[in-house]
């Protein structure tokens, strides 16, 4: 394939991985990234010795990462210096009760039984179901693409409608395992990672709490950005050319063919194929000619967004665990406010990450680095949300929740603060509606129904990343990169 060439728009995880696979097949690959460094949503801010992962903070689904590094000819554990995070999360409820989610089943038994007698047996049965969902889901939905409708609606796939519980509501399904609403919340909040409320997500997603407890949650030394560095290293070794500060203005279309791209500086580049890693709905709307496909995407469901706070502190908060999650009693109301009203809940569920607990180099000695994330609605069509007001209220809520752990002086120890609202997510990474996880993963946007890795009309235009198949998440973006590269390689081979 020496004479073939591909232009990749965006150096997010999917883009880097796809580019590397293509280059390893002898294809000439150029990646054009609008920002001045790679990673996309998996970004890093460094200031005065404080280092912040601005997007992902949890390495989940380690088996998937391992397989994807292997597919790139590398060993994950040689490329990343990993430590297991256990307990994974410290959950804090409104009544002050805490639950440390851990793979230590003795500890889980003791903790769960104190919440609800008999609930440990419930957990074991839930894990059993999660195990089934994880392995079937990865094999049948994630680790393959659906190039034609018969790949999905095949006779052999019919049992999946029962085995994966796609038509059963996740939160409703929890009644089979627990009565205590706090426990139901403890094992469904991960649906937010799919951009979904547990009150609408399919029960299939019990695979997430399962993999977190069974396979572990990890942290790479240097933070999640070290994954980007490891992947970039593999890309450069394979011969990928990365060009930064290179924003694409449009994809150059001729009839049903993508000729190449036009940059905002007017430069034109041509190639045999174009692979878009920039968020798929944005590509349809801003980089391609206006058509019915672009309009139909606008009606799809988008995931929520988040307001993130990045704080450099002049004091260490040793008592704060690496990952603390405050779960609100009005759990259902939380999701309604975010998803239906596109707003900020009155008593939001929120997440606080203290990376220096895992890697002291993330903060100067005697100081601390904190990230706090509050889920909120994505940008509304009419622009009626007041993000400055939401941001200030979210900050107040974080301080209020931290005070329940005895941390009352945080505000006075902030040396500097950076905040991201949905407007920042849209501006920095061109995420449509500022939606942090792209198109959400409800039933009608999964599998064959998710926008495919190849454009239906422009046959040499491909997609990779969170809003295309198989979906959001770092390891999933790696799978997406591999699948889209394979599709290009297959098409090049069959057109020769």
Ligand X SMILES: Cc1cc2nc3c(=O)[nH]c(=O)nc-3n(C[C@H](O)[C@H](O)[C@H](O)COP(=O)(O)OP(=O)(O)OC[C@H]3O[C@@H](n4cnc5c(N)ncnc54)[C@H](O)[C@@H]3O)c2cc1C
Question: Which residues contribute to the site for ligand X (CB under 6 A)?
Answer: 9-15, 32-35, 40-42, 55-58, 60, 247-248, 277-279, 306, 429-430, 436, 465-466, 472-474, 477
Shortest distance (Å) from residue 274 CB to ligand X: 11
Listed in sequence order, the DSSP H helices in 95-206 are 105-115, 119-137, 149-152, 160-163, 170-173, 181-186
C-beta of 112 vs 339, nearer to ligand X: 339
* Contact present, 72 and 20 (Cβ < 8 Å): yes
DSSP 287: I
* Contact present, 261 and 32 (Cβ < 8 Å): yes
Output the six-digit token pair for 49: 């010795």
How far apart are alpha carbons 229 and 221 in whole angstroms?
12
Contacts of 449 (CB under 8 A, 6+ apart): 443
One DSSP character per residue, 181-211 reads: HHHHHHTTGGGGGGT--TTTSBGGGGHHHHH
C-beta of 80 vs 160, nearer to ligand X: 80
Shortest distance (Å) from residue 51 CB to ligand X: 16
Q: Tell me phi and psi for residue 494, to 5 degrees.
A: -75, -20
C-beta of 223 vs 364, nearer to ligand X: 223
How far apart are alpha carbons 6 and 292 in whole angstroms?
26
C-beta of 108 vs 248, nearer to ligand X: 248
Shortest distance (Å) from residue 18 CB to ligand X: 9
Contacts of 384 (CB under 8 A, 6+ apart): none
C-beta of 434 vs 447, nearer to ligand X: 434
Shortest distance (Å) from residue 71 CB to ligand X: 16
C-beta of 275 vs 405, nearer to ligand X: 275
How far apart are alpha carbons 135 and 304 in whole angstroms?
27
Helix (H, G, I), strand (E, B) or coil at 14: helix
Shortest distance (Å) from residue 121 CB to ligand X: 30
Query: What is the chain's percent helix, strand, coil content, to nearest 5?
Result: 40, 20, 40
Count Cβ atoms below 10 Å from residue 375 Cβ, excluding itself: 25
**Burial group, residue 241, by CB count within 10 angstroms (0-12, 13-18, 19+):** middle
Shortest distance (Å) from residue 329 CB to ligand X: 24
C-beta of 178 vs 282, nearer to ligand X: 282
| Residue listed under structure tokens 């430069």 | 267
C-beta of 143 vs 404, nearer to ligand X: 143
Shortest distance (Å) from residue 246 CB to ligand X: 6
DSSP 286: I
C-beta of 477 vs 489, nearer to ligand X: 477
Shortest distance (Å) from residue 10 CB to ligand X: 2
Task: Find the largest Cα–Cα distance for the chain.
Answer: 67
C-beta of 34 vs 378, nearer to ligand X: 34
| Residue listed under structure tokens 């001045």 | 36
| Residue listed under structure tokens 């390893």 | 24
Shortest distance (Å) from residue 86 CB to ligand X: 16
How far apart are alpha carbons 173 and 152 in whole angstroms?
25
Shortest distance (Å) from residue 338 CB to ligand X: 14
């Amino acid at each position: 394939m020496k004479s073939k060439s591909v232009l990749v728009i965006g150096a997010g995880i999917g883009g880097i991985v796809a580019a590397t696979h293509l280059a390893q097949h002898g294809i000439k690959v150029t990646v054009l990234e609008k920002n001045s460094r790679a990673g996309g949503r998996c970004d890093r801010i460094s200031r005065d010795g404080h280092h912040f992962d601005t997007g992902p903070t949890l390495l989940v689904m380690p088996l998937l990462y391992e397989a994807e590094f292997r597919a790139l000819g590398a060993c994950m554990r040689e490329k990343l210096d990993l430590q297991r995070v256990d307990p994974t999360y410290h959950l804090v409820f409104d009544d002050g009760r805490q639950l440390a989610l851990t793979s230590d089943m003795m500890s889980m038994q003791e903790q769960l039984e104190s919440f609800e007698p008999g609930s440990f047996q419930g957990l074991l049965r839930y894990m059993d179901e999660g195990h089934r969902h994880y392995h079937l889901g990865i094999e049948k939905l994630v680790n393959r693409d659906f190039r034609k409708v018969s790949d999905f609606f095949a006779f052999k796939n019919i049992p999946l409608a029962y085995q994966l519980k796609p038509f059963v509501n996740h939160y409703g399904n929890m009644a089979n395992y627990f009565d205590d609403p706090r426990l139901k919340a403890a094992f469904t909040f991960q649906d937010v990672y799919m951009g979904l409320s547990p009150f609408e997500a399919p029960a299939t997603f019990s695979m997430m709490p399962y993999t977190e407890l069974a396979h572990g949650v990890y942290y790479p030394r240097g933070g999640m950005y070290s994954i980007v560095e490891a992947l970039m290293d593999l890309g450069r070794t394979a011969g990928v050319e990365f060009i930064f500060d290179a924003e694409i203005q449009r994809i150059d279309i001729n009839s049903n063919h993508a000729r190449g791209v036009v940059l905002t500086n007017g430069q034109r580049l041509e190639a045999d194929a174009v692979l878009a890693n920039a968020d798929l709905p944005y590509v349809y709307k801003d980089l391609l000619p206006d058509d019915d496909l672009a309009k139909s995407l606008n009606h799809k469901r988008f995931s929520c967004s988040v307001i993130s706070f990045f704080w450099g502190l002049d004091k260490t908060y040793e008592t704060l665990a690496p990952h603390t999650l405050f779960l609100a009693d009005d759990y259902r109301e939380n999701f309604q406010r975010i998803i239906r009203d596109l707003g900020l809940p009155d008593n939001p569920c929120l997440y606080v990450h203290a990376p220096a607990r895992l890697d002291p180099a993330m903060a100067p000695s005697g100081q601390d680095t904190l990230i706090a994330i509050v889920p909120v609605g994505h940008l509304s069509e009419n622009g009626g949300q007041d993000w400055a007001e939401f941001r200030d209220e979210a900050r107040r809520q974080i301080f209020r929740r931290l005070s329940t752990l005895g941390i009352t002086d945080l505000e006075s120890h902030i040396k500097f603060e950076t905040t991201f609202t949905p407007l920042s997510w849209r501006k920095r990474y061109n995420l449509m509606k500022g939606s942090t996880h792209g198109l959400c993963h409800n039933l009608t946007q999964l599998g064959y129904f998710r926008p495919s890795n190849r454009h239906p009309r422009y046959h040499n235009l491909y997609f990779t990343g969170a809003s295309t198949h198989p979906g959001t998440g770092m390891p999933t973006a790696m799978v997406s990169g591999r699948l889209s590269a394979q599709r290009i390689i297959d098409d090049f081979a069959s057109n020769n």
